[in-house]
Structure 1
Amino acid sequence: MPTLLAFPAWRDNPYLNLLYLAPRGAGWDVQGTTAYEELVKRTRGLGRGDVLHVHWTQPICQTAPDEATARERLETFVDTVTSARASGVRLVWTVHNTLPHETAYRDLEIELAERLGELADTVIQLNSHTVEAVADEYALPVGKVVTLPHASYTGIYPESVTRRQAREHLGVPLLSPTIGFVGQIRPYKGITTLLAAAEVLGSQVEDLTLLLAGKTRDDVLPEIDRHLPRDVRTVRHHDFLSDAEMSVWFSAADVMVFPYARVLNSGSLLLAATLGRPCVLPREPHLVAEFGDESWVSFYRPSGDVVQNLAGAVRRALVSSRRTGHDAASYARRYTPYAMSRDFLRILDGGSPLGPTSGEQGPPSAEQGPTSAEQGPTSDEQVAASA
């Protein structure tokens, strides 16, 4: 059976594990690595009919100690992939972010994206407006682009705790209006904006609680401490969460807030929907185009007085959170993990994805290229890798 080499492939990344379910079941030998050197070595060992599937590009150039080494890595990678394609290896690139969120060599990263677009046999976009969203940085080859929406996590994360049980576990009063941020806590995720907005909101909403949970770098933690909102109950956990712990933190919140800077896709958004929690996102054109009709997604303007804008959007979302939480859970059932994996397998096999079945209406099936209404640019986390 053919080999699929995924890069970078972290064993505990839920999105990757779900995506490759159907290919593994169909007999594909799914392998992976997270190291650049191993990527080059193993790509050279691929043969006709095999697939190299590139996801997040940050480890190729951005982990280099200096720009000269980053340039060398880029050229070696491109030469290696070019040679592999001449031997019958296919390249699939999934665009998770416009650019890596923390970029030391920006120009090289843009060049890498352009070269990947040129070399790829198929470019997968999770958000159907990715072509427009990345156009300010680089152009994606429209004729190669396929839309494969990010599925929910239905059936994956345990839903064994009630809202009451989750709040008792975390020490949150049952009737306290509660907003949450769960995922790796990093500067690009707009965490200080969230803290400032929570302080504003605390003066308007009685007995407000803020939940913060996720791995936090040692150099970021002092900044969090300095900006903690006054007069707001804050419950924190600055480390990785197990799947069960993740469910507790989401279930304890009324509204999840993700004020990411230049977010393209967010796995956290889909996890929130899976656990029936409405979300607040920045009003980016591609996000509005994708989720603007969903009652469980609210938007704030990421310009002007951003703190006040965010506080206002969260306050409004809290008012309707019980109703929109049910809408979020309904959305999550429309496109399930195995449906996504099945569609990815059809892409690998050269066919057209089936899309949602009759019982899975919602996110569109994967389509080759944009529709006539999506031609060209018209107009920033991910999701960590993945959230």
Structure 2
Amino acid sequence: MIVPWRRAVRPAHFLDDALSAVTAADWTADEPPVAWLYWPVDLANPYQSLIYSRFARRNLVPIRVTTFGAVDRLLAALPPGMPAVLHVHWLYEVTAGSRSGSEAVARVERFEARLRALSERGVRLVWTVHNVLPHETVHREVELRLRRFMLGAAELVHVMHGGHLDLLRTAFDGQPRASLVIPHPTFAGAYPDWVDRATARSALGIPLGARVLVTFGQIRPYKGHGAFLEAFDLAARADPRLRWLVAGKVRDETGGDEFVARAARHPAVLLHPGFVPEADVQLYLRAADAALYPYRSSLNSGAVALTAGFDLPAYASTGTSLADLMPPEAVVRFDLSDPRRTADTLAAPPVIESGAARAVVRAHARAFAPAAVSERMAAAVREHLAGRISVTVPAVTAARVIPGRSGGGRPGRTGG
């Protein structure tokens, strides 16, 4: 037979994937199978693949929802009585493309109505908070309304650091019915990693004696590339060994082209303004002595998860949230608003650029390994669901009823 799994060429293929996954569920286990639908799907970001990597062990069946309109078709294809959870991640698709505030409001109203209808059908709602608001917010009040709704509608809200709950209360003037604190995993093992420093630097044309700071990921206004360049210029004058290695696609947003033009002219900036193939990511990270995050603001950062998985210490602006992914002794902070002091910080003796600092990062990151984080999330979700699931097993699979469990149904609380 042809195995259709993850062909992902047409929407129908995702339905095939869902049915294949459901077929593989254990219908005889004490923990009944749960269809774990998640939306939106970001295939360019390994986060979802990693966070769900141990869900099957707990009979939670991850099912990708490519478009929100496909939810009904996926639910209809599930075996009768199979409980379903809709796990919502980023909310940018709800208002994306809105040409006016009124259009954004209309889209949010339709989305809210759909979620209410799904809830009435017994679909349970979980929300992971990846950021407080979109990085480049257009319709601020509409986005706030949407998140206030999610905070009240979701029966379980997942944050990646304990301090984020206070941020939600402040930003949205409310609190979740139940919350779950599970950290962002590192991306260790998600990307190829076989080159050493000498090979990486040879491939990129970087001298072995250079001090290389890497900023990896899309070039966007909130990431502060342009503002940091002035400080880096001052630092490079003080320490000619310094190199700033910047790799990532330039989004069509304010300041991107200007930064690329300035960076391209700077002799100490090594710029790759475009997509980096997966196998080449290791070149940029293994060539570096430390990661650099000049963000104006952030809540959870995939870039931090990536570089932590490559054992890189970090220079980070005060606006960059590291969310416990980095040990404090391997981090140097700087104030993006003070170029001179930032330059002095970078030009100072590079204490964190050492094998010892890398070892500290490596040891710290073990607690955030993808498998460990996924296991914690799956266990906590099961604890929350316990006592409120009752499922009739399809006759073609088994011939008995798995009753609901008794229990408090508390959300699992684990440290971030």
| Short-chain TM bin | 0.7 to 0.9
Q: Which of residues 327, 337, 345 is equivalent to 2:370?
A: 337
Distance in 1 (alpha carbons) for counterparts of 2:147 and 2:252: 31
Alignment of 1:261 with 2:296, yes or no, is yes
Structure 1 pair 280–367 and aligned structure 2 pair: CA distance change class (3 A): farther
**1:232-381 correspondence runs (5 A):** 232-284=267-319, 287=321, 290=324, 294-303=328-337, 305=338, 307-316=339-348, 318-322=350-354, 323-351=356-384, 368=413
Structure 1: 5+ residue runs without aligned partners? 353-365, 372-387
CA distance in 2, matches of 1:293, 1:60: 36
The answer as to whether partners of 1:197 and 1:308 remain within 8 angstroms in 2 is yes
Matches within 5 A, 1:1-387: 1-38=33-70, 49-141=83-175, 143-217=177-251, 221-228=256-263, 232-284=267-319, 287=321, 290=324, 294-303=328-337, 305=338, 307-316=339-348, 318-322=350-354, 323-351=356-384, 368=413
Q: Residues 315, 333 of structure 1: CA spacing in aligned structure 2 closer, same or farther, 3 A cutoff?
A: farther
Structure 1 residue 173 displacement after superposition: 0.3
Give the AA of the match of 2:413: Q
1:279-338 superposed Cα distances (whole Å, 9 cap, x missing partner): 122225x947847862112212344x2x23433343348343113222112222222111
- Describe the superposition over 1:336-383 as per-residue Cα deviations: whole angstroms up to 9, x where unpaired: 11111112212332359xxxxxxxxxxxxx953999xxxxxxxxxxxx
Instruction: Note if contact 2:154-2:177 (Cα within 8 Å) is conserved in structure 1.
Output: no
Aligned equivalents of 1:167 and 1:239: distance in 2?
19
The Cα of 1:22 is off from its aligned counterpart by 1.7
User: Is the alpha carbon distance of 1:60 and 1:171 closer, same or farther for their aligned partners in structure 2, counting shifts above 3 Å?
Assistant: same
Q: Which runs of no fewer than 5 residues in structure 2 stay unpaired?
A: 1-32, 386-410
The one-letter code sitting in structure 2 at the alignment partner of 1:75 is: E
Identical positions, percent? 28
Kindly provide the amino acid, as one letter, of the partner of residue 344 in structure 2. Answer: G
Q: Which of 60-69 and 116-125 deviates more?
A: 60-69
**C-alpha displacement at 1:8, in angstroms?**
1.1
Greater radius of gyration (CA):
2
Q: Return the offset for 1:214.
A: 0.8
CA contact (8 A) 2:325 2:365 kept: no
Structure 2 match to 1:363? none
CA contact (8 A) 1:177 1:254 kept: yes
How far apart are 1:43 and its partner, in Å? 7.3
Letter in 1 for 2:364: Y
Give the alignment's TM-score, normalised by structure 1: 0.82
What is the TM-score normalised by the length of structure 2?
0.77
Distance 1:31 1:337, change over 3 A: same
CA distance in 1 between counterparts of 2:218 and 2:90 reads 16
Q: Is the 8 A contact 2:327 2:361 kept in 1?
A: no
Distance in structure 1 (CA, Å) of the matches to 2:233 and 2:177: 47
- Residue 28 of structure 1 aligns with an amino acid whose one-letter code is L
Q: How many residues align?
A: 355
Contact 2:264–2:271 under 8 Å retained in 1:
no
CA distance 1:236–1:74, shift in 2 (3 Å): same
- The 3-state SS of whatever aligns with 2:367 is coil
